[in-house]
Chains A and B, each alone.
Chain A
Amino acid sequence: MTEKLVFPSDEWIEKYVDALNKNARYEDAAKTWEGDFVFQIDADGKTIPEDVRFYLDLWHGKCRSARMAGPEDTAEFVYAGPLSNWKLLFDGKIDPIKGIMARKFKLTGDMGKVMRYTKAALELVATTREIPTKYLDE
Chain B
Amino acid sequence: MKLVWWFSVPKIVFGDDALSELEIIQGERAIIITDKVVNGLGLADTVSNKLCERQWSTAIWDGAIPDPKVSTVKEAAEAMKQFGADWIIAIGGGSVIDTAKAAWVLYEKPDVQLDALTPFDILGLRAKAKLVCIPTTAGTGSEATKAIVIRDDETGRKFATINPELTPDLALLDPTFVVGLPKDFTAYTGMDALTHTIEGYISVWKNDFSDGCSLQAVKMIFNWLPKSVEDLSDLEAREKMLVAACLAGMSFGNSQAALAHSLGHSMGSVLRLHHGLSVGMALPYTIEFNCRDNEDCASQYAELAGIIGITGKDHVKVSMKLAEAVRDLMGKIGSPRSFAEAGVTRDIFDEGLERLVEFAMMDSSLTMNPRNTDSHEIRKMYEYMFEGKVIDF
Instruction: Mark A residues whose CB is within 8 Å of B.
Output: 24-25, 28-29, 88, 93-95, 97-98, 100-104, 107, 110-113, 115-119, 121-122, 126
B113 interface contact, C-beta 8 A? yes
Of the candidate stretches B309-317, B338-346, B372-380, the one touching chain A is B372-380
Across the interface, which residues of A come within 8 angstroms of B372, CB to CB? 25, 122, 126
Across the interface, which residues of B come within 8 angstroms of A117, CB to CB? 362
Inter-chain pairs besides A25-B372, A110-B116, A112-B115, 4 sampled, C-beta below 8 Å: A25-B374, A100-B119, A100-B120, A111-B120
**Minimum C-beta distance from A66 to chain B (A):** 23
Across the interface, which residues of B come within 8 angstroms of A121, CB to CB? 367
**Interface contact A101-B116, CB-CB below 8 Å:** no
**Minimum C-beta distance from A130 to chain B (A):** 14
Complex: A56 Cα to B115 Cα, angstroms: 26
B366 interface contact, C-beta 8 A? yes
Given contacts A101-B120, A102-B3, A119-B361, contact A112 B113 (CB under 8 A): yes
Across the interface, which residues of A come within 8 angstroms of B367, CB to CB? 95, 97, 118-119, 121-122
Complex: A125 Cα to B113 Cα, angstroms: 28
Partner of A28, one of B117, B118, B362, B376: B376
Across the interface, which residues of A come within 8 angstroms of B161, CB to CB? 115
**Interface contact A118-B366, CB-CB below 8 Å:** yes
**Interface contact A103-B4, CB-CB below 8 Å:** yes
**Minimum C-beta distance from A89 to chain B (A):** 11
Partner of A119, one of B3, B115, B118, B366: B366
Annotate B312-346 by CB proximity to A: 1 below 8 A, 0 otherwise. 00000000000000000000000000000000000
**Interface contact A115-B364, CB-CB below 8 Å:** yes
Complex: A111 Cα to B5 Cα, angstroms: 20
Across the interface, which residues of B come within 8 angstroms of A88, CB to CB? 3
**Interface contact A101-B366, CB-CB below 8 Å:** no
Partner of B3, one of A29, A94, A97, A111: A94
* Nearest-CB residue, chain B, relative to A119: B366
Closest 8 pairs (CB-CB, A-B): A112-B116, A111-B118, A118-B367, A28-B374, A102-B3, A116-B362, A25-B374, A28-B375
Complex: A102 Cα to B205 Cα, angstroms: 11
Interface centre among B117, B119, B161 (most CB of A within 10 A): B119
* Nearest-CB residue, chain A, relative to B118: A111
Complex: A29 Cα to B374 Cα, angstroms: 7
**Interface contact B3-A98, CB-CB below 8 Å:** yes
Given contacts A107-B120, A118-B366, A119-B366, contact A102 B5 (CB under 8 A): yes
**Interface contact B119-A101, CB-CB below 8 Å:** yes
Across the interface, which residues of A come within 8 angstroms of B113, CB to CB? 112
Complex: A28 Cα to B361 Cα, angstroms: 9
Complex: A121 Cα to B367 Cα, angstroms: 9
Complex: A118 Cα to B360 Cα, angstroms: 12
B204 interface contact, C-beta 8 A? yes
Across the interface, which residues of B come within 8 angstroms of A115, CB to CB? 118, 161, 364
Q: Can you pick out 9 interface pairs between chain A and chain B where the beta carbons lie within 8 Å of each other? A: A25-B372, A29-B361, A100-B120, A102-B3, A107-B120, A110-B116, A111-B118, A112-B116, A121-B367
* Nearest-CB residue, chain A, relative to B262: A119
Interface centre among B3, B113, B117, B366 (most CB of A within 10 A): B3
Complex: A94 Cα to B117 Cα, angstroms: 22
Across the interface, which residues of B come within 8 angstroms of A28, CB to CB? 361, 374-376
**Minimum C-beta distance from A96 to chain B (A):** 9
* Nearest-CB residue, chain B, relative to A96: B367
* Nearest-CB residue, chain A, relative to B5: A102
* Nearest-CB residue, chain A, relative to B121: A111
Complex: A101 Cα to B205 Cα, angstroms: 11
Given contacts A97-B367, A98-B3, A119-B361, contact A111 B374 (CB under 8 A): no
**Minimum C-beta distance from B119 to chain A (A):** 6
Across the interface, which residues of A come within 8 angstroms of B204, CB to CB? 95
**Minimum C-beta distance from A122 to chain B (A):** 6
